Amino acid sequence: MQVIRPVGREAASKKYDLLSAMMAYALAGDQNRQRLILRLMALITTRYNWQRNELVMGQKEIARLWSVDERTVKRDMARLRGLGWIEVKRAGVRGRVTMYGLDIERIMLDTRPAWPNIGDDFIARLDGPVAPADTKVVPFRRPEQISADGLWGAACEYLAGEDPALFDAWIAGLADGGLEDGCQTLLAPSKFHATYVRTHLLKRLQMTLRRLDGSVSAVRIQCKTL
């Protein structure tokens, strides 16, 4: 799956791709999902800065746009953060509202099951060549795939379904190092492998594990040889 970066000559079409994916995913769900995603789309289309990945809007303004009270705004923004669709880039303080950013990759991964409802052309366009950052760096030697049980086993099944190629190359070789005090340790077969996963995939691993087990607060990547 290509990572959408809504800048450059094709920025307009990429923005429509993101909004189309969100719309199809919303329509395929229940009314609660539809309402939540519609509200996020309203924020994106009215106040989101695509180039800077910034959404700056106070709770009172959001409540007015959504035609709800501020309690509902707090609840739904928390739900969106829990999904990983938005993240706090700058916490709000007195006189300054919170700045949010979108995790577009997370949104596209979550909405992928609804892409066929849009059409084969949409799928083909977004499943084109992998982004350069993923193609230039490959593991020196593909690690042996490790079977896992428990929480990490469930996470592996989830991640393999999201992106099989990425999973085979980088995630399948990680071993379960145990969960202690909310920190999940994963063991990589080499220092290079550990560094790559820590740099490029840590956020995705954290999000997946937290979705499966809310007690997970951190993920640590270590090399087996340490």
pLDDT recorded at residue 141: 47
Cα dihedral value 24, 49, 129, 25, nearest 10: -10
Percent helix, strand, coil in the chain, to 5, is 55, 15, 30
pLDDT at 83: 87
Enumerate residues 6+ apart whose C-beta is below 8 A from 113.
Answer: 25, 28
CB neighbours of 223 closer than 8 A, spacing ≥ 6? 187, 188, 189, 190, 191, 193, 194
pLDDT of residue 214: 85
Domains with residue ranges and CATH for the chain: 11-110 (1.10.10.10), 133-223 (3.30.300.180)
Residue with structure tokens 């519609």?
Answer: 38
Alpha-carbon span 78 to 86, nearest angstrom: 9
> What pLDDT sits at residue 176?
92
Nearest CA to 170 out of 142, 136, 129, 149 is that of 142
Residue 51: CB atoms within 10 A of its CB come to: 8
Look at residue 27 in the predicted model and tell me its pLDDT: 95
Which residues in the chain land under pLDDT 70?
1-11, 128-148, 225-226
CB atoms within 10 A of CB 141: 11
AA identity, residue 7: V
